[in-house]
Structure 1
């Protein structure tokens, strides 16, 4: 083999090794540390908007089989487990279809009694503090041509965030009392009248299904634009949301 062919072969092999190493590093980071996640719906408005891209901390709650790409059935439960706290915005696998990721706020802990009455959240029989803060006009496909009321809720542990009240008489504004089973959590969206959550088909979420805790928004683009549509960046990028906390 000529020296030229040897050099070409060696250079190709070096490129392959670098590519494999980069892929392995990306898998390790995604599995153990941070996973990117995009917001596909308005269920967490105004905390999170469609077109927000954020990092999810994988180590916040420990690791389950859902922490690993393709979710191989390597083990059950969690290792190095830490429990979600009330008020956390967390990504989890939908209990009825574990191929689907959801993002909601942790409202009920194991053993809690949760109920919504006339739009007011009750935890263990006590009304959560709820104050009218102002109004908000949703953007894009969620804009109905008028502003909607914004309420600030403050949970018993002091975590505070805003919720939207699109309809004062929606099905989710008056619920039965839910008793959260051991090892499970009750999740709700901040957009209370436009969120499929534990009040409805989502049900209680097992600890094993948690992927991680939302941390920071690293990119945000409006009007359902794709991040790849760079020609829309001048008009659609939400610079004010870059590096904003994904919790509140």
Structure 2
């Protein structure tokens, strides 16, 4: 007596279960939260290379950018939100949610390349933003900047890409302390966060950026090591970011690893698990 019918039914049920699970996971990722792995040093010391977090997509409501992006270079997979929901792009509007607030840590899609970025929201529509001698001016008024000591990390390769940190104390040997000046910056709405200084460079002195209606101005906390709105899109920067390109708000680090792989448990940063972001 053959049991091929039972085997076939079992295979079908397994496939259905996998498909349902993928649909539920995709729905969850599209509506509620998106995982995000910190690949660069642009938000130190608020976010470190190897921090893993979930982006709250409900915070600002939904646009085409809420659709998931799937990028796995090793497998040649590059599916963007445009591929899923590009038909909804162009109205620069959102459904539900609330307005972003100055000081929020936001994941957004680069307006040109579609690559996900994470930066701090500095400028709201209509704001005048400028940097003078490394000090941020908002609407012609300097923000409060206070000395908070020194941020020290080991000169070592970080993350899957093996990036080396930049140091204010010059070229240092592997394993030696890499130092940066640490400051607390207070924005006009009272939001306070840390920023780092490495050196004097062109982005420490800029012209005045007037943020257009429906757009936002973003900067990294690691000010001298961040590609952000201080550089226009035509020069390889981020420029002004439209409302519709916001993905969501980052509120908390869930997991963190200092090594090249999250499986290297000896490199886990236990003190950053479930770390609240400010």
Please indicate the TM-score interval, normalised by the length of the shorter structure: over 0.9
CA deviation map 1:49-68 (0-9, x unaligned): 11111110011111111111
- Cα distance, 1:95 vs. partner? 1.3
1:91-170 matches, cutoff 5 A: 91-98=107-114, 100-139=115-154, 140=156, 141-142=164-165, 144=167, 145=172, 146-167=178-199, 169-170=200-201
- Cα distance, 1:10 vs. partner? 1.6
What's the secondary structure of 1:147's corresponding residue? Answer: strand
Provide the residue aligned with 2:9 in structure 1. 10
Q: 1:74 aligns with which of 84, 87, 108?
A: 87
- CA distance in 2 between counterparts of 1:10 and 1:17 reads 10
Stretch deviating more after TM superposition (213-222 or 63-72): 63-72
What's the secondary structure of 2:153's corresponding residue? Answer: coil
Unaligned runs of 5+ in 1: none
Normalised TM-score (structure 1): 0.92
CA deviation map 1:131-162 (0-9, x unaligned): 00110123431054331110001111111110
CA deviation map 1:97-150 (0-9, x unaligned): 12x011100000000001111111111111111100110123431054331110
- CA distance in 2 between counterparts of 1:172 and 1:192 reads 8
Provide the residue aligned with 1:237 in structure 2. 268
- CA distance in 2 between counterparts of 1:68 and 1:6 reads 39
Q: 2:242 aligns with which of 206, 211, 221?
A: 206
What's the secondary structure of 1:44's corresponding residue? Answer: coil
- CA distance in 1 between counterparts of 2:150 and 2:60 reads 34
Per the alignment, do residues 203 and 143 of structure 1 end up closer, same or farther by CA in structure 2, a change over 3 Å counting? closer
Q: Does 1:195 align with 2:226?
A: yes
User: Between Structure 1 and Structure 2, how many residues are aligned?
Assistant: 239
1:28-107 matches, cutoff 5 A: 28-69=27-68, 70-71=80-81, 72-76=85-89, 77-98=93-114, 100-107=115-122
- CA distance in 2 between counterparts of 1:138 and 1:185 reads 32
- CA distance in 1 between counterparts of 2:240 and 2:87 reads 24
- Cα distance, 1:5 vs. partner? 1.6
Stretch deviating more after TM superposition (3-12 or 123-132): 3-12
CA contact (8 A) 1:132 1:151 kept: yes
- Cα distance, 1:3 vs. partner? 5.5
CA deviation map 1:67-100 (0-9, x unaligned): 11332223243222422100000000111212x0
- CA distance in 2 between counterparts of 1:182 and 1:209 reads 14
Moved over 3 A (4+): 143-146
- CA distance in 2 between counterparts of 1:217 and 1:7 reads 46
Provide the residue aligned with 1:226 in structure 2. 261
Backbone CA RMSD of aligned residues: 1.4
